[in-house]
Amino acid sequence: MSLKPLALASLLTIILSSMVPSFPQEIDAIAQIQTSIQSSSINLNARELNQPLWLNINALDGANLQGQVRLNGQVIKTLEGSNNQVNLSNYLSRGNYQITVKGNYYPSQSSIVIELKGQETQVTQQTSGNGLLNQQLNMEVR
């Protein structure tokens, strides 16, 4: 085998690889936004579960929301439209829980408000501006 074709192939590989532009730094920022999680932690008294403990997920400014609410990884509610609600008292007892709310909303300039509201508890999280929803609530029921 002649070295000429091998040398030519190597040269073309070097030339072609130098012509492919590298990804802009904005792509790294987008990837980080997509995987970022807004998280809150709360301790809850078990007696509060005798009353409804509402998790409200509301899309503001006429936004449309598609997603899921998961409790320790299991889907307990599919989100559609602009107003969604689930009574968490039906799913909780003493112990540790991770509640995640994930999805997409449009238009992406809108806002999503997530509120946990009970007899003695109120926690609010909000996200806006990128069309991605990734909220987490860590809860301990004592």
Which tens digit of pLDDT belongs to each residue from 43-88? 999 999 999 999 999 999 889 999 999 999 999 999 999 999 999 9
Q: Is residue 13 part of a domain?
A: no
Structural domain for 104, as ranges: 39-141
Q: Is residue 22 part of a domain?
A: no
Q: Is residue 23 part of a domain?
A: no
Q: Is residue 29 part of a domain?
A: no
Q: Is residue 11 part of a domain?
A: no
Q: Is residue 114 part of a domain?
A: yes
Q: What is the tally of structural domains in the chain?
A: 1
Q: Is residue 14 part of a domain?
A: no
Under DSSP, is residue 3 helix (H, G, I), strand (E, B) or coil? helix
Tell me the pairing of strands 64-71 and 54-59: unpaired
Per-residue model confidence as pLDDT tens digits over 11-28: 555 554 455 444 444 433
SS3 content of the chain, % helix, strand, coil (to 5): 25, 50, 25
Q: Is residue 107 part of a domain?
A: yes
Tokens 């990734």 map to which residue?
A: 134
